[in-house]
Structure formats: C-alpha cells, structure tokens
C-alpha cells in the first residue's frame, strides 16, 4: 500500500506529465489534490481549481488520463497489483471529471452545514450525506430551501413560536414531512431542544436514517432527540402517531398533486388547538412552483387554517452558476395555525 503525504495543490508545471511516465504515487497524489470540495453555501468562495490552474487545462488533463492505457504501470506484466493501480487512477480521474460536471453527475458526497446557534454563541456543524442523484429520488440532495430555513429556525422560534417554548408547554413534538437528507429536522431538534420525527418515503429512508445516526450525539448534547421513519402521503392511515405541536416541511412540492397532499398531512397530524403551528417553505423557482404555492394557500384556507406569518428569503442552490443575489432566486415561507 502506498501512503501519500499531500501538501499544496500542484501548479500547472507541477502536474505530472504523462509523457514522462509518472509513477502511480505521483499521479494519484496529483489527482487527490485536484479534488473539488462540495459547496455548503456558507458564504465562502465557491469550490474551484487551485489558483493558477486553468479549468480547461485541468479538464483536458483529466481526459488524457482517462484515455491513456497507462502502459508504463505494467513493467512487462499484467499482475493484479498493476491492474488495480490502473483502475484506481482511472476511477479517481473520472471522479475528478464528474465533480466538474455539476451536481447531477457527482458521486456520493458528505457536506458539513454550519447553522447559527445563538444560545451557544457559535454555529453547530451538521454532517449530511448525499447519495448520487438517481431517477426521481430528489430526496438524496440537500436543497437550498432546506439550508435557508435551517438558518432561520432560531429567528422563527423567537418571533413566531415562542409561545410553545415555556413552562406551560413542557412537551413539544415536531414532525417533518418529506425530510430528504434531514437537515431541517435535525437542526430544529438541536436548536429548539425538542424531539423531532423525520419522515420520508421508503427509498429515502436508508440515507435519512444514516444522517440521523451521524448527528444524534450533537443533537442530544443540545437537549433534542431525532428519529426517522416512513410516511407515505398517499396512505397516512397506517402512521401511528398524531397530534404534533409543530409540523414542518421544506421544499415538499414537485407535482401538481403535492399542494393538496401536504395540506392533508398537516390537517391529519397537526394537534387541534390554537397553539399548534405548521411551518412550510417552498422555493419560487419558476411559474410552476409559484402556482403550486398559490394552490397550497387556497387549500389550507379551505381546510380551516389561518396564515399567521409569511416572508421570502434569498437562497442558493447547486444548479446556479452565479450567486443567488444575481439571479434573484428565493423561497416563500409561511406559518399556519388552526383558524380560531
């Protein structure tokens, strides 16, 4: 096994020239140094190639590695070690190329999200795994609305939910609909020091449960508790728990049927008293999402809910090449209660 000590990222002249037949160790080290770290939208510069490296040059360099037979690794033999080394170089070069092709092409990643925690005087760092995006499994990605709302949780508690956090309300339970990777529900449990039940479809549950486990110690250190389970919006009758004081959902609508379904979940599971609250956030990506937002408001009003507060926040996402301030993208959030 080759043990590599990686230092500064290589400069153009320092990248191993394939014509010089670089060793496995030097080529592997160069590819490791070219890794792009996933963006967690914390205001730091976007992930990019090391200073002095032209992105076009890097792409051509990676393509040349993937296209090369790496024949000089053979030394006249085709033993298992030689084949394994070639496969590792090809695999790593392909991974570096995928990192430069946008979020949909990227492999599994783990991101650390820093969420302000005024009570501690610092930020809490939540570790969230995101599998590769496949098919319709949009719950495998941490969407911009989730990060935006996680950052706003403390403010929402102070301004709109403070009545729930007092000695007269000793036990608060929260339910998150369509948790996806779980960032909002996990952050809420930690920042609000309450138990949160995170839910999603069966195909999302394995990764969601993993993220819950990875963050359990941090959440419990803040006085909260997190568990996850399956909740199918088309068949909620089998769900054993009702009467939640808080229901939350960030970016839960992708289909014309979703406004009605989300409203029905709130109607089914929100505790029927004047103190219970539902917090919903929807990104205003395009005309379709704007229409679904309008439909959702109509359905909620028709089911006997009152809109207590609403607002819009600027949010970022992996799909934007420019900063969100330049694109004007944002999300709408609202807090609902049962009508008096």
Note whether residue 286 is domain-resident.
yes
Please count the structural domains in the chain. Answer: 2
pLDDT higher than 60, residue 260: yes
Local structure of 288: helix, strand or coil: helix
Query: What pTM value is reported for the model?
Result: 0.73
| pLDDT tens per residue, range 177-218 | 999 999 999 999 999 999 999 999 999 999 999 999 999 999
- The answer to whether residues 242 and 272 touch, using CB atoms and an 8 Å cutoff, is no
| pLDDT tens per residue, range 117-141 | 887 778 999 999 998 766 556 667 8
Domain span at residue 35? 12-101
For residue 309, the domain's CATH number is: 3.40.50.150
Contacts of 226 (CB under 8 A, 6+ apart): 182, 185, 186, 189, 195, 196, 198, 212, 215, 216, 219
Q: How confident is the model at residue 44 (pLDDT cuts 50, 70, 90)?
A: very low
Q: Which residue did the predictor score with more confidence, 69 or 189?
A: 189
Q: Give the bridge partners for 113, in sequence order.
A: 126
Q: Give the bridge partners for 123, in sequence order.
A: 116
Note whether residue 290 is domain-resident.
yes
In whole angstroms, how far apart are CA 219 and each of 155, 211, 222, 255?
19, 12, 5, 32
Q: How confident is the model at residue 1 (pLDDT cuts 50, 70, 90)?
A: very low
Q: What confidence score (pLDDT) does residue 37 get?
A: 62
Q: Name the range with the highest mean pLDDT among 2-16, 100-114, 287-301.
A: 287-301
| pLDDT tens per residue, range 77-104 | 556 676 788 888 888 777 777 666 655 5
Q: Cα torsion at 103, 283, 321, 129 (round to 10°)?
A: -30
Note whether residue 131 is domain-resident.
yes
Query: 201: exposed, middle or buried (C-beta count within 10 Å: 0-12, 13-18, 19+)?
Result: middle
Do 87 and 198 fall within a single domain?
A: no
| pLDDT tens per residue, range 304-322 | 999 999 999 987 765 444 4
Do 162 and 268 fall within a single domain?
A: yes
Residue reference for tokens 């989730």 = 146
Note whether residue 250 is domain-resident.
yes
The closest alpha carbon to 105, from 130, 142, 132, 131, belongs to 132
Do 94 and 117 fall within a single domain?
A: no
Among the candidates 72, 101, 130, a domain finishes at 101
Do 216 and 252 fall within a single domain?
A: yes
Do 210 and 234 fall within a single domain?
A: yes
Q: Residue 272 and residue 338: Cα distance in Å, rounded?
A: 7
Q: What confidence score (pLDDT) does residue 113 get?
A: 92
Do 151 and 186 fall within a single domain?
A: yes
Note whether residue 234 is domain-resident.
yes
Q: Residue 214 and residue 127: Cα distance in Å, rounded?
A: 7
Do 82 and 214 fall within a single domain?
A: no
pLDDT higher than 90, residue 58: no
Q: Residue 251 and residue 317: Cα distance in Å, rounded?
A: 12
Phi-psi label, residue 75: left if phi above 0, alpha if psi -120 to 50, beta otherwise: left
Among the candidates 67, 83, 101, a domain finishes at 101
DSSP annotation of 198:
E
Note whether residue 6 is domain-resident.
no
* No. of helices (H) and no. of strands (E), the chain: 9, 9
Note whether residue 89 is domain-resident.
yes
Name the token pair of 274: 């004047």
Do 218 and 279 fall within a single domain?
A: yes
Name the token pair of 213: 């486990």
Note whether residue 54 is domain-resident.
yes
């Amino acid at each position: 096994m080759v043990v590599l000590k990686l230092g500064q990222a290589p400069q153009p002249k320092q990248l191993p020239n394939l014509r010089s037949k670089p060793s496995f160790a030097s080529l592997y080290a160069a590819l490791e140094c070219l890794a792009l770290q996933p963006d967690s939208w914390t205001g730091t510069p976007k992930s990019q190639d090391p200073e002095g490296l032209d992105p076009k040059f890097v792409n051509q360099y990676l393509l040349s590695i993937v296209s090369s037979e790496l024949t000089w690794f053979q030394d006249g033999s085709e033993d298992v070690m030689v084949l394994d080394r070639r496969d590792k170089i090809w695999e790593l070069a392909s991974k570096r190329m995928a990192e430069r092709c946008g979020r949909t092409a990227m492999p599994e990643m783990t991101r650390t999200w820093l969420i302000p925690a005024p009570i501690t005087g610092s930020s809490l760092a939540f570790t969230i795994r995101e599998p590769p995006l496949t098919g319709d499994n949009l719950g495998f990605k941490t969407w911009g609305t989730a990060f935006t709302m996680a950052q706003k949780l403390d403010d929402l508690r102070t301004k709109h939910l403070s009545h729930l956090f007092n000695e007269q309300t000793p036990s608060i339970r929260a339910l998150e609909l369509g948790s996806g990777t779980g960032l909002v529900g996990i952050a809420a449990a930690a920042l609000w020091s309450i138990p949160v039940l995170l839910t999603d479809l069966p195909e999302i549950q394995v990764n969601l449960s993993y993220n819950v486990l990875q963050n359990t110690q941090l959440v419990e250190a803040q006085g909260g508790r997190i568990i996850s389970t399956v909740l199918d919006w088309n068949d909620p009758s089998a769900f054993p728990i009702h009467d939640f004081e808080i229901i939350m959902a960030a970016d839960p609508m992708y289909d014309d049927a979703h406004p009605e379904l989300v409203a029905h979940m709130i109607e089914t599971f929100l505790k029927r008293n004047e103190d219970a609250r539902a917090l919903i956030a929807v990104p205003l990506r395009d005309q379709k999402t704007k229409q679904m937002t309008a439909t959702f408001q109509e359905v909620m009003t028709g089911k006997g809910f009152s809109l207590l507060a609403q607002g819009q926040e600027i949010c970022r996402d992996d799909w934007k090449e420019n900063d969100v301030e330049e694109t004007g993208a944002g999300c709408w959030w609202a807090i609902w209660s049962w009508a008096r």
